[in-house]
Amino acid sequence: MKKYLTLIGVFFFFLNANAQQKQMNLLIGTYTNSCDSKGIYTYDFNIDTGIFKLKQSTQKTANPSFLTVSGDNKFVYSVNENGKESSVSAFKFDAKSGKLDFLNRQNSEGADPCYIINDDKNVIVANYSGGSISVFGKTADGKLGRTKQVIQHSGKSVNAKRQESPHVHMVQFSPDKRFVLANDLGTDRIYLYRYFADLEKDNLELKDTIPIKSGSGPRHLAFSQDGKTVYLLQELDGTITVFNYAMGKFRRIQETTVVSPGFKGETGAADIHVSEDRKFLYATNRGDANTISTFSIDLSGKLSLVKTISTGGKGPRNFAIVPDGKFVLVAHQYSNDVTIFSRDKVTGELTNTGKKIELCSPVCLIFAPEK
């Protein structure tokens, strides 16, 4: 009898452990100037069922549009996108409760920061209106340290309205962390910087620039899971450019688009991600389209369109594929909701579940462990 009860106990232990692994934190960054938002929200999200529940929110922080979580899951860093008053904030993160406690803030050293990344040593920010990149150190307790470097881009491109000056729209580590890539919408270039994490200053050294089609407006990029292919999404014309990548070298192999044939409205391509199974790529398009496109990826890394569907809202910005690939969540800045799609792992196709997280002006979605 005792042995039987022990087996039952072990069974329920593993059952509970498995259930806990299905629960993750979903962190959502928002704009706070267009509707009633407290800033950053933490939801409990079941990656197997798509069921969600609000856990915590910040008290009030201005326009934390993009977020990044530290590698040890103990800190969250956000931009505060607020024109010339823009800043960067650090929060202590309790993964179990989802609570975010404000630690400190630094001037972003450039207007309208719109993307942020971090590693063990530094926090790196793309300043859109400022056309610059800022590097901040970290203190031992997770706070933002002093500004270690500010790099100012220069130049413009052919779209007089959107490309009158540099607009850095994304910074991203290469998979081996040897480089930082910076997409500049204003100059139609990817800037490749050699990255020296441990230096006290001058952490980024320009190694190369990769020219992109004039007027296309490079916005976000995604690496393939093996790090051998880069997929670049251009905001202004909806182009996706595919590159072979190795040791900081780029070679174009394909161009395709998220714009449907015959579409005549405004294009505003936004975000791009590759599924963990390496088989599919997804990209959103705002403007008058409000769509998400699914592409299959062949063995060479090239793309073939599978399907383009409505995102079920207005202004699809950032989106996230849940870690096991069962759902895709799309944040709608203007319809104030996050739409939850189920994902067919065989075909890659998305289906609107009808479930929505309703909150003010969501922009950035990040999944993080609950422990």
Residue 169's domain is classified under what CATH number? 2.130.10.10
Run of H or E including 249:
strand 249-257
| Structural domains of the chain, count | 1
Which comes out higher in pLDDT, residue 168 or 3?
Answer: 168
Classify residue 25: in a domain, yes or no: no
Residue 10 has pLDDT above 80, yes or no: no
Classify residue 116: in a domain, yes or no: yes
Classify residue 130: in a domain, yes or no: yes
Band the pLDDT of 7: cuts 50, 70, 90. very low
Mean pLDDT of 278-306: 98
Classify residue 105: in a domain, yes or no: yes
% of the chain at pLDDT higher than 90: 93
Amino acid identity at 354: G
Classify residue 34: in a domain, yes or no: no
Classify residue 230: in a domain, yes or no: no
- Please state whether beta strands 168-173 and 189-195 pair in parallel, antiparallel, or not at all (unpaired): unpaired
For residue 143, give the 3-state DSSP assignment.
Answer: coil
Classify residue 152: in a domain, yes or no: yes
* Per-residue pLDDT, 34: 87
Band the pLDDT of 15: cuts 50, 70, 90. very low
Q: Which domain holds residue 166?
A: 61-211
Q: What does residue 329 show for φ and ψ, rounded to 5 degrees?
A: -110, 135
Classify residue 258: in a domain, yes or no: no
Q: Is the dihedral of CA 326, 255, 243, 304 positive or negative?
A: positive
Mean pLDDT of 291-314: 98
Furthest-apart CA atoms within the chain: distance in Å: 80
